[in-house]
Amino acid sequence: MKRLAWVFSLAVSGLLAAAPELEQAQRRYNHTDYEGALKLLLPLGVKDGAVFELIGKCHFMTGEFKQATEAFEMALAAEPTNSGFAHWLGKAYGKRAETSSPFTAPGYAGKARRYFEQAVQLDPANSEAVNDLFEYYMQAPGFLGGGLDKAAALAKRIAAQDPVEGDYALARIAEKRKEYGTAEEHLRRAVEGAPMQVGRVVDLARFLAKQGKIHESEQTFLEAERISPNDPKVLFARAETYIKARRNLEQARDLLKRYLAAPPTPDNPSRSAAEKLLREAGG
């Protein structure tokens, strides 16, 4: 018993010692210094679920998806009921599916779906996990566990918890079915339900552009900028919309330069994604 108590005490002291490094690493991660965060985290002798999660997120953000899955697996092994860990593990396997060969991709995609489903089962209120599971059902073919019927069933659950997010999900399904009028109706309803959520306004602006309603799209983007001036996500979304349509390329370049001048965060599209778009626009 004394030996067990000593081992437990040693483990607790190790985790307490890791706390300052974890906080420092989290700050570096928030400023997109992923390599700097890893330099603090990897040498730690005692790692708990939170440390493994942050290691996995750093690897994920740098495109090292194999290392990310390994770290998230360790995090989930440490805390098997943690919905967030299961969700991140699903995201990492999803990226491995996207970037691997046709022979290995189906296996990784199946794991992504299973971990998304596990995350939602562990915490039905984990909206990010629910949304990623919805995206999986929308995009994956039936033999990999996807399908519009599953997406539609999940959309009803989303709408019961969050009517605005539910309208967005229903719009996605309607667009997939080429029911464009219904899709627009749901997107407008989402904006009406959350008029100050800039993301909902951007969703509508992008959709209108795809439907060739350029003037309405421009007015909606201007409304998004009014709600949240100089919001990096609005700058990126507007530039991406222009570049996909091969119009307003000079303005798109200006928007991307403003985006790249803003302080980076993990929640916004990566600098590399913005730089790639800038090259496509001739910048």
Phi-psi region of 61 (alpha: psi -120 to 50; beta: other; left: phi over 0): alpha
Run means of pLDDT, 10 residues per run, the chain, 283 residues: 41 56 96 96 95 98 97 98 98 97 97 98 96 97 97 96 96 98 98 97 98 98 96 97 96 97 91 94 88
Please state, in angstroms and rounded to a whole number, the distance separating the CA atoms of residues 75 and 81: 10
Q: Is residue 201 a part of any domain in this protein? A: no
Please state, in angstroms and rounded to a whole number, the distance separating the CA atoms of residues 1 and 10: 14
**Per-residue pLDDT, 3:** 46
User: Which range marks the domain in which residue 129 is found?
Assistant: 39-161
How many domains would you assign to the chain?
Answer: 1
Please state, in angstroms and rounded to a whole number, the distance separating the CA atoms of residues 129 and 207: 24
Q: Is residue 242 a part of any domain in this protein? A: no
Q: Is residue 249 a part of any domain in this protein? A: no
Please state, in angstroms and rounded to a whole number, the distance separating the CA atoms of residues 54 and 48: 10
Q: Is residue 128 a part of any domain in this protein? A: yes
Q: In this structure, what DSSP letter does residue 48 have? A: -
Q: Is residue 253 a part of any domain in this protein? A: no
Q: Is residue 109 a part of any domain in this protein? A: yes
Place of tokens 């030996």: 3
Q: Is residue 148 a part of any domain in this protein? A: yes
By the 8 A CB rule, do 168 and 200 touch?
yes
Q: Is residue 110 a part of any domain in this protein? A: yes
Number of other CB atoms surrounding residue 218 within 10 Å:
16
Domain with residue 149: its CATH number is: 1.25.40.10
By the 8 A CB rule, do 155 and 170 touch?
yes
Q: Which two tokens stand for residue 258?
A: 């403003």
Q: Which two tokens stand for residue 9?
A: 């005490």
**Per-residue pLDDT, 18:** 63
**Per-residue pLDDT, 7:** 37
